[in-house]
């Protein structure tokens, strides 16, 4: 057995995403996305709505954070990258190289994803003057960005803004105009909790919203202001300043958005309503964070309608910037720039600051950029934050400073943003938690009293120093911090997203603005369940700005701030639409919303309106509500958004099986993907997806097909020529395809080759000669000498105009005849001939390059298993140049000339050789000598390989046919050889019409097919079958084409329980009505509630209280997607494992055993006191199952396996053997393993040996035959 090929599915989850103007195109936008260790630049075509990859880059590390920024006055954005490298890296996209170029790389710490090493957070000053990079705990560094004499970006040494015992939850750059750059950080000071053995301090300590100011005069970062937060914020969002907004930040708390500002602006609190790839780059690491930024005054934009897709953590930021800062697991911050010419990312800077790996103290998890692009903060989960100053050198190249530390011991970071402080010192806001008191408190009381803090770090551009400007404890637990635009665009400050609240905060005299997060009306969710904001996107223009915030249920809310002078007076929240829960969102200036979904496919929407419908309710922080009350809203179908496109994703993948269940002679991958009601069973086939446009039956089985133009100036093909064994059929291409009788082709003989020759003449090669058809229908013919026939032929064309100039034919017996077209349009035969003792099996002529009169090479495949390169130079026509022996006789040849995507540099000639043994050889032919070298082999199938020239993305490609069809094409600066997920083809040619610009016409048996291949670069195509709950495990019937799976969700209702709750709520509404009018209205509402059931795949399933479980067992036909059998378990029973068991007493039947836990409570250690096993009988055909009985167990069941005619069951730390019984399973023997084993989850069985896998141990057991133990 030999492994001929290995195809890997690339990472599909998007964890980081930022957008901006990186390519330099005016008014352009692209999106930079992180897929693990891969940076991708995506372009969204506004005309077609398709997503294209511009470039893809592997960063060889874990990107923890990204921050785009632009230097003041700049036209191009940079990207600060926080990674696990212990460096901050400034990247710039190079359009020439089509890749990111490293501008600066500054080291500030150890490698690895450490919590005290900056890189986890990045924030940039909106004016591009400074960048704050922070760790999760303690450390924050600020870098000053500037330009040198040549206008190149420069970066200062890092200015520290560290603070011991401080955790950071987020940081943003505050838009303060041209005042000192200011950053807002969501922090938590756990110092008291660390030293409080009771744990009370941890409970009382609040988050703080801290503003850090960078004094550009002193080059020093000061902690300008810190405000405790009453709500726990989970995210901080910078609010645009200046003319675009009030500046400040928005804190995303549970159920609330809070706007805060540095000035006298009071906090605004508003409730949150509940509920074609352009470029892809493998970064060889884990991208943890992304942040686009633009240097101050920059105009180059990297992201116009481009979406950069990275695999890893996800943050889609809303700055139109040139560069991308990447935080990864490399311990470095990387600044990338997209190069349109190279169609890839170019590393501008790469600065090392820590160890590699995703460590909680190594920065890279967070990235925040000063809105002016002056500095980037990269932060770790714990302690460390670093700030890099961005600038330009004399050549206007981005420069990056050494890292400035902003560390703080015992501090966890939950988020960081760059505060828009204009051109003041760059300031970053971080959500932190100081656990110092809790660390030293054995009682745990300090942990309960310690609060999160919102901490502001300021980069003093004068002193090159980061100071902890201000830290404010937070009363509410914040999960996100959002920077509010400042300067002329907004009030600056931050919005804290806390549990059930949004809180706006800012430095200075601005009071907190607090607004509760609305809930869904008539929601069946657990009423005690708090609401959290999980994702945010900011959109700002010169005239307006707003925020889109998303709750756990996927509901989007438009959040706006009302200002009075520089103070925010009101926060308004309005339901926008519902989309899948996202890791990141990005609003493009062209009117698109890109949603990088947390689970399942990613989506692209077009924004139809801005949600300004006056008939829909708008909630305000000024609306009076009693304590604990909130607003309510009703969900609806998409109104503000229109779905345009999607990117397939397999995240999360819970189980998979590889096999040829569909009987297609090629294995498929069956994957369980997704979470909740949006879960699917994906069937993946290795191959490109083919769009079939037309299929027509032919009067017989043809052997070849071509397309022909009538004139050199035609944009589309005019004829389809189909050759049969004894005839030729010519079809005219128009609005319909029909037979043409006036083409001039000879219809009574088979055709060996045809095409356009000269300006407007046609050429047909048939066994007895060559037919030259003029435009005026005059025909010139060349007849073969004697009774010899033409067996093979080759023609070429001018690359620029698809016009043939050279023709070569092989006569029976191995003789070669060569023709050329002269300037008068006459086809002339050369007197030179050559011959071989063996028959010619195949031939190919290379294309005529632009500016040349002829091609220099003719390749010939001979029956002696050789391929030869023949010269066509007038000085030595038909003289041999080189020869290569083949492992098998050749079946077909195709010379293909390849140039770089930017059209620069010399071209390369590749000879594609199809062999009769099913292999494809690709060898390089020297442009001068004709020597063949660098041969590569790929096995394609069991039939001889034939190769045909087709068009793909305006470039030549090769379609290979064997037992399976393959496409060899050049994409993203590399060759791809991918099978087609289509029927086996026999011959093909390129096809172009008004309806299909780049298609393929092919024959398969007795059919003519027109198709197109669009999703280039994909290794697999998907078919999805919807599921109800999160799929956990699946088994495959050994004979049938069906899979059986278990689906389980926590905090979920079964169908029976959900119907009961819905009816009970409807009954309560009717019962509470008093007078007749209320009764009638209540009945109408009750009827709507009973009959109107929201689509759970769109709006999500209702969430139950913790400890509630729902499960189903499903049997599904993988060919049709039909559900053959479905069994729903009772409420609170969670299916954990499934296995096929053939009991010794019933050897002619297959049983399916499903192990369950009952009323399991999730905590640090999952707790469940009992379980059960369901036994199902599977029919012999595998088309349905039926329940036999249910067996109670004293412990939760986590693993079941077939073992020598019995069922081996893992329950907690017990192993038990069961045999089949009439009313229940019969326990035969048991083995209790050491108490330190938590519980078994899997097993591997061989003979008498059992290898049991537990969550914390690996146990080897051996059975003793005859003792049943």
3-state helix, strand, coil in the chain (%, to 5): 5, 55, 40
Domain topology for 1031-1051+1103-1254: Methylamine Dehydrogenase; Chain H (2.130.10)
Q: Please list, in sequence order, all residues whose beta carbon lies within 8 angstroms of the beta carbon of residue 974, skipping any fewer than 6 positions away.
A: none
By the 8 A CB rule, do 454 and 260 touch?
A: yes
By CB neighbour count within 10 A (0-12 exposed, 13-18 middle, 19+ buried), where does 1000 fall? buried
SS3 annotation, 512-573: CEEEECCEECCCCCCCCCCCCEEEEEEEECCCCEEEEEEECCCEEEEEEEEEECCEEEEEEE
Strand order across the beta sheet in which 1185-1193 lies: 1133-1141, 1150-1158, 1171-1178, 1185-1193
By the 8 A CB rule, do 372 and 72 touch?
A: yes
> What is the model's pLDDT at position 870?
92
How far is residue 18's CA from residue 285's CA, in Å, rounded to a whole number?
A: 18
> What is the model's pLDDT at position 326?
87
By the 8 A CB rule, do 114 and 372 touch?
A: no
> pLDDT below 50 — which residues of the chain?
273-275, 301-321, 800-801, 1235-1238, 1269
How far is residue 931's CA from residue 860's CA, in Å, rounded to a whole number?
A: 14
Mark out the alpha helices in 995-1139 (DSSP H runs): 1055-1072, 1076-1091, 1096-1099
> What is the model's pLDDT at position 528?
77
Distance of CA 1141 to the CA centre of its chain: 39
633-to-192, 522, 611, 846 alpha-carbon distances in Å:
41, 9, 14, 67
933-to-878, 882, 911, 922, 1114 alpha-carbon distances in Å:
21, 10, 10, 9, 55
> What is the model's pLDDT at position 1236?
42
> What is the model's pLDDT at position 1126?
94
Q: Please list, in sequence order, all residues whose beta carbon lies within 8 angstroms of the beta carbon of residue 979, skipping any fewer than 6 positions away.
A: 666, 686, 687, 688, 964, 965, 966, 967
> What is the model's pLDDT at position 1266?
59
Q: Please list, in sequence order, all residues whose beta carbon lies within 8 angstroms of the beta carbon of residue 921, skipping any fewer than 6 positions away.
A: 886, 912, 913, 915, 935, 936, 937
Query: In the chain, which segments carry CATH 2.130.10.10?
Result: 691-1018, 1031-1051+1103-1254
By CB neighbour count within 10 A (0-12 exposed, 13-18 middle, 19+ buried), where does 905 fall? exposed
What b-and-e string marks burial along 289-318, b requiring 16 or more CB atoms within 10 Å of the CB? Answer: bbbbbbbbbbbbbbbbbbbbbbbbbbbbbb
> What is the model's pLDDT at position 308?
40
The answer regarding whether domain 691-1018 maps to CATH 2.130.10.10 reads: yes
**Which helix (H) or strand (E) element contains residue 191?**
helix 191-194
Which of 805, 904, 806, 799 lies closest to 847 in space, CA to CA?
A: 799
For the chain, give the longest Cα–Cα distance: 109
Q: What is the DSSP string of 111-170?
A: BS--BBSS-SEEEE-TBSSEEEEEEEBSBEEEEEEEE-TTSBEEE-PPEE--BTTEEEEE
Which of 688, 595, 708 lies closest to 649 in space, CA to CA?
A: 595
How far is residue 759's CA from residue 707's CA, in Å, rounded to a whole number?
A: 16
How many Cβ atoms from other residues are within 10 Å of residue 1268's Cβ?
11
Q: What is the DSSP string of 871-922?
A: E--TTSTT-EEEEEE-SS-EEEEEEEEE--TTS-S--EEEEEEEETTSEEEE
Which of 574, 841, 821, 553 lies closest to 677 in space, CA to CA?
A: 553
How far is residue 763's CA from residue 779's CA, in Å, rounded to a whole number?
A: 10
φ and ψ at residue 767, rounded to 5 degrees: -55, -30
- Start-to-end CA distance of the chain, whole Å, equals 39
Q: Please list, in sequence order, all residues whose beta carbon lies within 8 angstroms of the beta carbon of residue 647, skipping any fewer than 6 positions away.
A: 12, 14, 51, 277, 309, 601, 602, 603, 604
How far is residue 1158's CA from residue 1136's CA, in Å, rounded to a whole number?
A: 10
């Amino acid at each position: 057995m030999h492994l001929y090929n290995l195809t890997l599915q690339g990472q599909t989850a998007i964890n980081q995403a930022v957008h901006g103007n990186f390519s330099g195109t005016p008014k352009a936008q692209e999106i930079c996305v992180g897929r693990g260790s891969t940076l991708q630049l995506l372009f969204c075509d506004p005309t077609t709505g398709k997503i294209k990859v511009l470039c893809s880059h592997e960063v060889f590390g874990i990107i923890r954070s990204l921050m785009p920024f632009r230097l003041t006055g700049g036209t191009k954005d940079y990207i600060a990258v926080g990674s696990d490298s212990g460096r901050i890296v400034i990247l710039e996209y190079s359009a020439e190289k089509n890749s990111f170029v490293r501008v600066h790389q500054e080291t500030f710490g150890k490698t690895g994803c450490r919590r005290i090493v900056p890189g986890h957070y990045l924030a940039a000053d909106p004016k591009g003057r400074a960048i704050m990079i922070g760790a999760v705990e303690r450390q924050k560094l600020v870098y000053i960005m500037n330009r040198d004499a040549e206008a190149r970006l420069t970066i200062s040494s890092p200015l520290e803004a560290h603070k011991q015992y401080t955790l950071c939850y987020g940081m943003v750059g505050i838009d303060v105009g041209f005042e000192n750059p200011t950053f807002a950080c969501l922090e938590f000071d756990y110092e008291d909790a660390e030293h409080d053995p009771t744990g009370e301090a941890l409970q009382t300590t609040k988050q703080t919203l801290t503003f850090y100011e960078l004094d550009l005069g002193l080059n020093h970062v000061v902690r300008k202001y810190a405000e405790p937060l009453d709500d726990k914020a989970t995210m901080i969002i910078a609010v645009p300043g200046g003319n675009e907004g009030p500046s400040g930040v928005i804190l995303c708390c549970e159920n609330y958005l809070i706007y805060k500002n540095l000035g006298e602006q009071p906090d605004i609190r508003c409730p949150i309503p509940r509920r074609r790839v352009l470029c892809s780059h493998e970064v060889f690491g884990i991208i943890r964070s992304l942040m686009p930024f633009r240097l101050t005054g920059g105009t180059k934009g990297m992201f116009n309608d481009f979406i950069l897709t990275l695999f890893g953590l996800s943050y889609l930021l809303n700055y139109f910037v040139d560069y991308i800062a990447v935080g990864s697991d490399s311990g470095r911050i990387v600044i990338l720039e997209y190069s349109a010419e190279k169609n890839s990312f170019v590393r501008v800077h790469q600065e090392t600051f820590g160890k590699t790996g995703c460590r909680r103290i190594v920065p890279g998890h967070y990235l925040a950029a000063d809105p002016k692009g002056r500095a980037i903060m990269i932060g770790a989960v714990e302690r460390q934050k670093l700030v890099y100053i961005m600038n330009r050198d004399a050549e206007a190249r981005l420069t990056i400073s050494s890292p400035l530390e902003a560390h703080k011991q015992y501090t966890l970071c939950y988020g960081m943003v760059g505060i828009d402080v204009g051109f003041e010192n760059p300031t970053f806001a971080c959500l932190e938690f100081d656990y110092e008191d809790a660390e030293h408190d054995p009682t745990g009381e300090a942990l309960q009293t310690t609060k999160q803090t919102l901490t502001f770090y300021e980069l003093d551009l004068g002193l090159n120093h980061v100071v902890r400007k201000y830290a404010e404890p937070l009363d509410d637990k914040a999960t996100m911090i959002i920077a509010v635009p400042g300067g002329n665009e907004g009030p600056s400050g931050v919005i804290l997203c806390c549990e059930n609240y949004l809180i706006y905060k800012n430095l200075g005299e601005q009071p907190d603005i607090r607004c509760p997060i609305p809930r869904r009306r008539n929601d069946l969710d657990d009423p005690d369940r708090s609401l959290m904001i999980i994702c945010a996107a900011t959109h700002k223009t010169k005239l307006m700005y707003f925020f889109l915030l998303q709750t756990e249920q996927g509901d989007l809310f438009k959040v706006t701030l009302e200002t009075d002078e520089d103070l925010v007076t009101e926060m308004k929240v309005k339901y926008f639409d519902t989309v899948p829960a996202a890791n990141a969102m990005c609003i493009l200036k062209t009117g698109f919303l890109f949603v990088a979904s947390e689970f399942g496919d990613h989506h692209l929407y077009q924004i139809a309106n801005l949600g300004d419908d006056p008939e829909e309710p708008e909630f305000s922080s000024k609306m009076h509500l009693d304590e604990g009350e909130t607003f309510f809203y009703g969900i609806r179908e998409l109104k503000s958004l229109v779905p345009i496109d999607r990117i397939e994703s397999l995240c999360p993948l819970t189980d998979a099986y590889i096999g040829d269940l569909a009987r297609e002679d090629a294995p498929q991958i069956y994957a369980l993907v997704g979470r909740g009601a949006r879960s699917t069973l994906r069937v993946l086939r290795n191959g490109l997806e083919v769009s079939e446009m037309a299929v027509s039956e032919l009067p017989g089985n043809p052997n070849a097909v071509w397309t022909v133009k009538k004139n050199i100036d035609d944009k589309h093909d005019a004829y389809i020529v189909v050759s049969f064994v004894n005839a030729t059929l010519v079809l005219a291409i128009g609005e319909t395809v029909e037979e043409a009788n006036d083409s001039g082709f000879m219809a009574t003989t088979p055709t060996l080759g045809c095409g356009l020759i000269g300006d407007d003449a046609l050429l047909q090669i048939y066994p007895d000669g060559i037919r030259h058809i003029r435009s005026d229908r005059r025909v010139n013919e060349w007849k073969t000498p004697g009774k010899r026939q033409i067996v093979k032929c080759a023609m070429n064309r001018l690359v620029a105009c698809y016009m043939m100039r050279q023709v070569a034919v092989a006569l029976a017996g191995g003789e070669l005849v060569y023709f050329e077209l002269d300037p008068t349009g006459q086809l002339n035969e050369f007197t030179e001939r050559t011959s071989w003792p063996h028959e010619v099996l195949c031939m190919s002529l290379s294309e005529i390059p632009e500016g040349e009169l002829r091609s220099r090479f003719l390749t010939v495949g001979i029956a002696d298993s050789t391929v030869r390169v023949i010269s066509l130079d007038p000085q030595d026509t038909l003289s041999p140049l080189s020869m290569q022996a083949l492992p098998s006789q050749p079946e077909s040849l195709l010379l293909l000339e390849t140039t770089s995507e930017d059209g620069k540099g010399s071209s390369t000639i590749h000879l594609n050789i199809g062999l009769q043994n099913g292999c494809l050889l690709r060898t390089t032919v020297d442009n001068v000598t004709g020597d063949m070298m660098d041969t590569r082999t790929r096995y394609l199938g069991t039939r001889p390989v034939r190769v045909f020239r087709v068009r793909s993305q305006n470039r030549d490609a090769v379609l290979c046919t064997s037992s399976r069809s393959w496409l060899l094409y050049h994409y993203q600066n590399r060759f791809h050889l991918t099978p087609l997920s289509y029927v086996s083809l026999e011959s093909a040619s390129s096809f172009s019409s008004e309806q299909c610009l780049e298609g393929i016409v092919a024959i398969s048996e007795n059919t003519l097919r027109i198709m197109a291949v669009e999703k280039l670069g994909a290794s697999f195509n998907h078919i999805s079958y919807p599921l109800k709950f999160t799929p956990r495990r699946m088994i495959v019937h050994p004979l049938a084409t069906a899979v059986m799976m278990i689906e389980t969700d926590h905090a979920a209702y079964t169908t029976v329980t959900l119907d009961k709750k819905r009816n009970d709520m409807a009954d309560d509404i009717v019962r509470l009505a008093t007078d007749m009018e209320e009764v009638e209205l209540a009945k109408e509402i009750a009827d709507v509630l009973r009959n109107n059931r929201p689509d759970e795949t769109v709006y999500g399933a209702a969430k139950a209280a913790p400890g509630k479980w729902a499960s189903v067992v499903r049997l599904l036909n993988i060919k049709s997607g039909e559900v053959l059998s479905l069994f729903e378990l009772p409420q609170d029973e969670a299916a954990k494992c499934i296995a096929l068991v053939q009991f010794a007493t019933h050897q002619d039947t297959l049983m399916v055993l499903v192990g369950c836990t009952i009323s399991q409570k999730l905590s640090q250690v999952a707790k469940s006191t009992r379980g059960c096993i369901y036994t199902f009988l599977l029919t012999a055909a595998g088309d349905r199952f039926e329940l036999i009985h249910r067996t109670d167990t004293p412990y939760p069941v986590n693993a079941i396996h077939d073992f020598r005619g019995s069922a081996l069951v893992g329950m907690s730390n017990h192993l038990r053997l069961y045999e089949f019984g009439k009313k229940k399973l019969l326990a035969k023997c048991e083995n209790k393993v050491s108490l330190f084993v938590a519980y078994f989850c899997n097993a591997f069985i061989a003979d008498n040996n059992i290898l049991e896998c537990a969550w914390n141990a690996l146990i080897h057991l051996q059975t003793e035959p005859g003792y049943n133990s």
